[in-house]
Copies of this chain bind each other. A is one copy, B any other.
Amino acid sequence: MEFGLQSSQKIGFSPWWSNAISLVDSLSTRVVEFFRKVKKTGEDDPRRIGHSFKVGLALTMVSVFYYVTPLFDGFGVSTMWAVLTVVVVMEYTVGGTLSKGLNRAFATLLAGALGVAAHQIAVHCGEKGEPILLGLFVFALAAAATFSRFIPEIKARYDYGVTIFILTFSLVAVSSYRVDELVQLAHQRLSTIAIGVATCLCTSIFVFPIWAGEDLHKLVAGNLEKLASFLEGLSAECFAEKGGIENLEGKTFLQAYKSVLNSKPTEDSLANFARWEPCHGRFWFRHPWKQYLKIGALSRQCASSMDALAAYIITTSTKSKTNTDPDLQLRIRAACKEMATESANTLKELSTAIRTITVPSAAGRHASAAVAAIGKWRDSLSDDIALPEFLHVATTASLLADLVLRVQKIAGSVEELARLAHFKRPEPLVHDAKIKPVVDEHSRSHLSITLEK
């Protein structure tokens, strides 16, 4: 079969059955691939399946208002708004649902009242003046509200509320031109939206609740653990008594801290939702969620240091060694091992302390030991008075050298962009200076290793 396919490709002719078979083949691969992804999504966090069922449940509950005649007669077509509210308000976490639900309820109330007021004013302006005045109102309020969404504080907490405000005000103000019983309509709509919000909140809080605060708590503790596992790996692989830094390509601990670098958006949104959540489990309302964000920011700084360290170690790990002062080296290596181990222990202690909501007791001891190790390695250099000052310059140079190689990578990537996006050529005056990445003995090992996560 394979031979047949190949030969038909070669002569530019393919019988219909091989075409059909390859089509079915690629289709079935895609379907299998899709189901593999679906399975993985469920396995990664089984609560996602629960959430999906909760959304289905809330929607089915709310649609009862359509099926039961006495209920439907009470609200009429406005029942639609209950369904609409459930679809847009229902979020993954309790805090998200609360935030959206309360935003929706208050924005609807405020905008509805303003809309009715706008109608009362416009009605006095005669048949021709009314639509013009209503149009002006809608234009002014929509523009002002849209602009307010660019203010960071409003964007972070009330973005959805402002959208609903514009929506409700426009609908009430504009449709008031055609509807006679405006107050009755507003009342019906408010009731159905309240029903929708209440359905969402009940399902969210009472059926397998997923708390944003708890997720944030676990995320921050988990990130500290990831940082610790990098340091543990470092201590075990790089500063062993014998051997030292060897070829480290493909070691998993070198990837441990990477996900921490990009955790900011998740932490921000979880903290934003958590502040809406009522007392639950071990957390109360007004739990110091902001402090978690501070720990998160410091963790990212730490991860950033680890990134520099990992890059440096990878670059130098393939070099051959010349052990001329084995004693001094052993002493520094021992100090390194202590710094890494004690810092790893500190982080693990802190992570456990957060997880178990216990005051971190042993972390202080480990942190002190790590700082003491810094002193130890500086002392080991003090035999030669010139060395410490020299080291500052040399270390800076090493870090800069790494930076240079990273800049070179950017240059390569921009050149690739220039090729892909057909950038125009510069004036022929300087055309001899085309980019030619210089790969010398020092940078080759670095460039061959992909640092991207």
User: Is A24 located at the chain interface by the 8 A CB criterion?
Assistant: no
User: What distance in Å separates the Cβ of A434 from its nearest Cβ neighbour in chain B?
Assistant: 6
- Given that A375-B442, A417-B354 are contacting pairs, would A299 and B410 also be in contact in the complex, using a CB cutoff of 8 Å? yes
Give the complex CA separation of A72 and B174 in angstroms.
12
- Given that A299-B410, A440-B371 are contacting pairs, would A63 and B170 also be in contact in the complex, using a CB cutoff of 8 Å? yes
Q: Which of A4-12, A199-207, A246-254, A322-330 interfaces with chain B?
A: A322-330
**Copy count, this protein chain:** 2
Give the complex CA separation of A84 and B346 in angstroms.
54
Chain A contact residues, majority secondary structure:
helix
User: What distance in Å separates the Cβ of A452 from its nearest Cβ neighbour in chain B?
Assistant: 6
User: What distance in Å separates the Cβ of A446 from its nearest Cβ neighbour in chain B?
Assistant: 10
8 Å CB interface, A28-49 against B: 37-38, 41-42, 45, 48-49
- In the A-B complex, list the 5 residue pairs whose CB atoms are closest, starting with the nearest: A364-B435, A308-B308, A324-B386, A56-B143, A288-B420
Give the complex CA separation of A292 and B55 in angstroms.
37
Could you jot down 25 A-B contacts, CB within 8 Å? Answer: A38-B147, A42-B147, A55-B142, A56-B138, A60-B142, A66-B174, A67-B134, A72-B178, A80-B171, A83-B171, A227-B407, A265-B265, A291-B416, A294-B416, A301-B307, A301-B452, A308-B308, A322-B385, A329-B393, A339-B403, A350-B410, A358-B425, A361-B426, A361-B431, A367-B407
Complex contact B354–A406 (CB within 8 A): no
User: What distance in Å separates the Cβ of A413 from its nearest Cβ neighbour in chain B?
Assistant: 5
Complex contact A435–B363 (CB within 8 A): yes
Which residues on the B side are within 8 Å of A424 (C-beta)?
357-359
Which residues on the B side are within 8 Å of A405 (C-beta)?
371, 374
User: Is A215 located at the chain interface by the 8 A CB criterion?
Assistant: no
- Residue of B with least CB distance to A407: B343
Which residues on the B side are within 8 Å of A358 (C-beta)?
418, 423-426
Complex contact B389–A398 (CB within 8 A): no
Complex contact A401–B421 (CB within 8 A): no
Which residues on the B side are within 8 Å of A64 (C-beta)?
135
- Tally chain A residues at the interface, Cβ within 8 Å: 175
Which residues on the B side are within 8 Å of A312 (C-beta)?
395-396, 399
User: What distance in Å separates the Cβ of A145 from its nearest Cβ neighbour in chain B?
Assistant: 8
Q: Which of A14-22, A98-106, A313-321 interfaces with chain B?
A: A313-321
User: Is A309 located at the chain interface by the 8 A CB criterion?
Assistant: yes
Complex contact B329–A245 (CB within 8 A): no
User: Is A27 located at the chain interface by the 8 A CB criterion?
Assistant: no
Which residues on the B side are within 8 Å of A120 (C-beta)?
none
Complex contact A302–B403 (CB within 8 A): yes
Which residues on the B side are within 8 Å of A390 (C-beta)?
324-325, 328-329
Give the complex CA separation of A308 and B52 in angstroms.
43
Which residues on the B side are within 8 Å of A449 (C-beta)?
none
Give the complex CA separation of A322 and B390 in angstroms.
9
- Residue of B with least CB distance to A40: B151
- Residue of B with least CB distance to A343: B407
Write out, one digit per residue, whether chain A residues 118-131 have a CB within 8 A of any chain B CB (1) or not (0): 00000000000001
Give the complex CA separation of A414 and B367 in angstroms.
13
